[in-house]
Amino acid sequence: RTETEWFRTAVFYEVLVRSFKDSNGDGIDDFKGLTEKLDYLQWLGVDCLWLPPFYDSPLHDGGYDIRDYRWIREELGTIEDFKVFLDAAHDRGLRVIIDFVMNHTSGSHPWFQSSRADPDDPYSNYYVWSDTDDAYSDARIIFCDTEDSNWSWDSERKQFYWHRFFHHQPDLNFEEPRVMEEMLGAVRFWMNLGIDGFRLDAVPYLIEAEGTNCENLPKTHQILKQLRAMVDEEYPGRILLCEANQWPDGVVEYFGDGDECQMAFHFPVMPRLYMGLRRGSRECISKILADTPQIPEGCQWATFLRNHDELALEMVFKEDRQYMWEGYAPEPRWRCNLGIRRRLSPLVDNDDAKARLLNAMLLSLPGSPVLYYGDEIGMGDDLWLSDRDGVRTPMQWDDSETAGFSTALPEDFHLPLIHTFGHDPEHVNVARQMDDPSSLLVWTRAMLGIRRRHPVFGTSEFIDLDGADTAVMSFLRHNEHETILCLANLSDTERTVVLHLPQFAGATGSSLIHGQDVQPVEADGTLIVPLWPYGYRW
């Protein structure tokens, strides 16, 4: 493993900058607060933080609506505070990647304001303008709960502008070379401050072309290759993590021939982990992994259970979606042809056994796991907040009135604390779990420690053993140094797994890395392993 491939064995942690820790009592997190909590993150044992956008923004889309690519929202602190934070993270061996939104800006970005004011302005071509609203009609509408077209009328310029997301997020025009220059300049700005890489937001939509669905187009890949070439040349070892919510065949294209992004999220895995658990069957998980093409040497998937966009069912088939809602109240609030955002997470159910099983799978299946803040304590989702605010509530540090998030009163927090009984800070918090050796937090920390001691999880082959009992997922992670057998019982009944693996002949109980006790393996390599409901073993 070379140092430049650090991301292949890393565990990532998404910190929602607004909701982690407030240092100055205004009810909003800030970089000083984040810096105070670095000791905690180091103790937990994660390797790299991912910060969603903290740029100057009117915050109509959680900061994914950028008003200035080189400025931090004042509520979060100054560039100086950011530098202090970054150095403190690096001192603790933590790396930091930050979000970067190339597809669109906020409508209040000065570029857009200039562009709409004057068609002869130097910024006139920075966005995608048209006299009509009928171009690119094969492109789907992504935020179809709130938008009914990808074109919106601008009364000032008296033209339509193109937007793949909210109408207040006009798409940048990558046919205009100056736009790419601006992006490269902003990337250099943050790289020069010392960040370890970027999560690249919404990359499939950079380029539009008539007669296509305007996703994953060849020119979009050229743009990313150009960015990667610059990064390799000027900032070797820094990474690009691609966010393309696409099926595996489309998303693997973002690795290029190893000359595009080093990492990409594997979106379809996430809902299948939940679905497999609900069905008590590994089949959908095995299938998506089998259907995932090989990726170029040195690249890596990023996998996750939750993120700031909430558990979404975009990447499942219609029948599955139907199945996933059944029996769950309240009825889904967000419905469209593409996705239904639902809170089906067993983490929400406060079901400790299921939460551990899901995390054990996340930590042992292929890819680098990306935890979401609060996953380690089983912090749930607030079912009653609108849009995606339900997964963006303040971190629950302790059982005090303010949950240890801020010295402000909860009514002044930018979002309320979770108040659902059993999920509220009184029941679910860091302080309490730190003192309890049987807690999810202490367990998560132990699991991260194991993963760190066994880099095989990050870098090896994945061999699905496809056992006859579909309730149990059994697989090997294998390289020339080490072979780890992983078992996961997705069902609520006890199972006995029988496997024949000559390479383990004679292994004893001491070969167990984590999970329930094991019997010694018989001389011919036969393993007979009982698994509790939702039990797992490595």
List own/partner pairs for 225-229 with CB under 8 A and 24 or more apart: 225/256, 225/259, 225/260, 226/180, 227/183, 227/184, 227/187, 228/256, 228/259, 228/260, 228/261, 229/259
171: partner contacted, choices Ca ion, ligand TEU, none (Cβ within 5-8 A by kind): Ca ion
Annotation marks residue 201 as catalytic = yes
**Which one of the listed residues 201, 309, 310, 376 is annotated catalytic?**
201
* Smallest distance, ligand TEU to C-beta of residue 389, A: 12
Q: Specify the DSSP class assigned to residue 518.
A: -
- Applying CB under 6 A, among 147, 171, 201, 208 the residue interacting with ligand TEU is 201
- Other beta carbons within 10 angstroms of residue 438's beta carbon come to 8
Q: Give the one entry of ligand TEU, Ca ion, none that residue 309 binds, where binding means its C-beta sits below a cut-off of 5 to 8 angstroms depending on kind.
A: ligand TEU
Which option in Ca ion, ligand TEU, none does residue 86 bind, with CB closer than 5 to 8 A by kind? none
Instruction: Pick out residues in 83-112 that bind ligand TEU (CB under 6 A).
Output: 101
Stretch that binds ligand TEU, among 42-50, 182-190, 306-314, 393-401 (CB under 6 A): 306-314
Minimum gap (Å) between residue 267 Cβ and ligand TEU: 7
> Would you tell me how many other CB atoms lie within 10 Å of the CB of residue 105?
28
How far does CA 4 lie from the centroid of its chain?
21
| 458, 477 Cβ separation under 8 angstroms | no
- How many residues touch Ca ion under the rule CB under 5 A: the total is 3
Residue 165 Cβ vs ligand TEU, minimum distance, rounded to whole Å: 4
* CA separation for the pair 285, 345 (Å, rounded): 16
**Can you tell me the distance from the alpha carbon of 81 to that of 293, in angstroms, rounded to the nearest whole number?**
42
Among Ca ion, ligand TEU, none, partner that 76 touches (CB below 5 to 8 angstroms by kind): none
272, two tokens? 């299948």
Residues 6+ apart with CB under 8 A from 161: 116, 127, 128, 129, 130, 151, 152, 154, 170, 171
Lookup result for tokens 């993590």: 241
What is the rounded distance in angstroms from the CA atom of residue 208 to the CA atom of residue 215? Answer: 8
Q: Enter the DSSP assignment of 176.
A: S
What is the distance between the alpha carbons of residues 79 and 90, in angstroms, rounded to a whole number? 16
Nearest to 281 by CA among 520, 492, 506: 492
339 class by beta-carbon count within 10 Å (0-12 exposed, 13-18 middle, 19+ buried): buried
**From the CB of 128, what's the least distance to Ca ion, in Å?**
7
Closer by beta carbon to Ca ion, 162 or else 267: 162
- Please give the residues from 230 up to 249 whose contact with ligand TEU meets the rule CB under 6 A: 245
Q: Which of 81, 243, 253, 260 is catalytic?
A: 243
Interacting residue with ligand TEU among 202, 428, 487, 527 (CB under 6 A): 202
Q: Hey, how many other C-beta atoms are within 10 angstroms of the C-beta on 84?
A: 15
Residue for token pair 């709409």: 116
Q: Which is nearer to ligand TEU, 275 or 471 (CB)?
A: 275
Nearer to ligand TEU, 75 or 145 (CB): 145
User: Which of ligand TEU, Ca ion, none does residue 82 bind (CB under 5 to 8 Å by kind)?
Assistant: none
The residue from 171, 215, 310, 376 that contacts Ca ion (CB under 5 A) is: 171
Nearer to Ca ion by C-beta: 144 or 434?
144
Name which of Ca ion, ligand TEU, none residue 202 binds, using a CB cut-off of 5 to 8 Å depending on partner kind.
Answer: ligand TEU
Q: Does 61 participate in binding ligand TEU (rule CB under 6 A)?
A: yes
Closer residue to Ca ion (CB): 81 or 182:
182
Nearer to ligand TEU, 62 or 394 (CB): 62
Handedness of CA 458, 201, 379, 49 (dihedral sign): positive
Binding positions for ligand TEU, 115-154, rule CB under 6 A: 142
Q: Give whichever of 187 and 357 is closer to Ca ion, judged by the CB atom.
A: 187
Binding ligand TEU (rule: CB under 6 A), the pick from 182, 309, 381, 382 is: 309
| Binding site partner of 14, from ligand TEU, Ca ion, none, Cβ cut-off 5-8 A by kind | none
Candidates 64, 123, 126, 162; binder of ligand TEU (CB under 6 A) is 64
Q: How far is the CB of 111 from Ca ion (least distance, A)?
A: 15
State how far the Cα of 172 lies from the Cα of 183, in Å rounded to an integer: 10
Is the Cβ of residue 308 or residue 537 nearer to ligand TEU in the bound state? 308
Sign of the dihedral defined by the CA atoms of residues 225, 309, 464, 300, in that order: positive
| Residue 202 or 355 having the CB closest to ligand TEU | 202
Instruction: Confirm if 324 and 278 have CB atoms less than 8 A apart.
Output: yes
With 0-12 / 13-18 / 19 or more C-beta atoms within 10 angstroms meaning exposed / middle / buried, residue 226 is middle
CA atoms within 13 A on the CB side of 279: 21
Closest separation in Å from C-beta 170 to ligand TEU = 12
Picked from Ca ion, ligand TEU, none, the partner binding residue 245 (CB below 5 to 8 A depending on kind) is ligand TEU
At closest approach, how far in Å is the CB of 173 from Ca ion?
A: 8
Minimal CA–CA distance to 372: which of 20, 71, 70, 73? 20
Contact call for residue 312 and ligand TEU (CB under 6 A): yes
Among Ca ion, ligand TEU, none, the one that 85 touches (CB under a kind-dependent 5 to 8 A) is none
Binding site for ligand TEU (CB under 6 A): 61-62, 64, 101, 142, 165, 201-202, 245, 308-309, 312
Name the site residues for Ca ion (rule: CB under 5 A).
Answer: 103, 171, 205
Active site residues: 201, 243
